[in-house]
Amino acid sequence: METTFRGNELDGAVMTTRLDAVVNWARKNSLWPLPFGTACCAIEFMSVMASKYDLSRFGAEAMRFSPRQSDMMMVLGTVTNKMAPVLRTIYAQMAEPKWVLSVGVCASSGGMYRTYATLQGIDRVIPVDVYIPGCPPRPESMIYGVMKLQEKIEQESLSMRKDHIARFYESLDRQRELERGKDLTGHQAVHEMILEAAGRGAATIF
C-alpha cells in the first residue's frame, strides 16, 4: 500500500530531532542515585529525598544501594584513605554512563580534616562531575547540583569518548598490579599511587 502525504497533511504529526537530544533527555530525567554516605552530609541527603524537597520531581527518586543499578553516585561525607579503594571499586561497578556528585566540603577537599587519615578530595581517586559546596550543603544546594548535572548531560554526545573514565579503568589496572606485585592492600596501593602522582605534579591518580 502506498501512502502519499501532500501539502500540510503532516503538520503537527511529525517531529524531528537528534538522537543525542532524545537519549540525553531520557538520561537526565531518570538518574538513579547511589548514596555513598559516610557522615553528616548523608543525613542532609535524607531530607532531599523526603517529601518537602522531593528529588523525585527531577526524576531521581529511584535510589539504589547496588552500584550495578545506579548511574549517579553521590558521595556524602568524609572519605578516609582506607575507604578510597572501596569507593573506587563501587564506582567501577556502576552502570555506564555514570556520573559523580561530590557533596560537601569533606568529599570535595577533605574539609576541616586536614589529617593523614583523610582523603583530601575524592577527585584524587575517581572522576567528579559536579562539586556541591557547604558543610553540610542545604537540600536546595544538592538539588541545584543535580540540576547542574542535568545541564551537563544535555551537552553530552553518544559518540563522545569519556577519556577520564577510560583513564580511571587504566588506573584500576595499575592499582591491581601494585596489590599483586608488591603484596599491598588496596589503600596502600592507592596511597602509593597518590604519592607517585604528586611526584609528577598531578592531582589525580587517573
Please give the residue ranges that form the binding site for ligand SF4 (CB under 6 A): 39-41, 77-78, 104-106, 111, 135-136
- Rounded to a whole number of angstroms, the minimum distance from the CB of residue 185 to ligand SF4 is 25
Instruction: Output 40 or 172, the one with its CB closest to ligand SF4.
Output: 40
- Rounded to a whole number of angstroms, the minimum distance from the CB of residue 125 to ligand SF4 is 17
Instruction: Tell me how far apart the alpha carbons of residues 182 and 176 are, in angstroms, rounded to a whole number.
Output: 10
Instruction: Output 104 or 186, the one with its CB closest to ligand SF4.
Output: 104
Instruction: Output 36 or 206, the one with its CB closest to ligand SF4.
Output: 36
Q: H or E stretch including 75? A: strand 72-76
- Rounded to a whole number of angstroms, the minimum distance from the CB of residue 8 to ligand SF4 is 58
- Rounded to a whole number of angstroms, the minimum distance from the CB of residue 11 to ligand SF4 is 54
Q: Tell me how far the alpha carbon of residue 108 is from its chain's centroid.
A: 12
**DSSP string of 127-189, one letter each residue:** --SEEE-SSSPPHHHHHHHHHHHHHHHHT--TT---HHHHHHHHHHHHHHHHHHHTT--HHHH
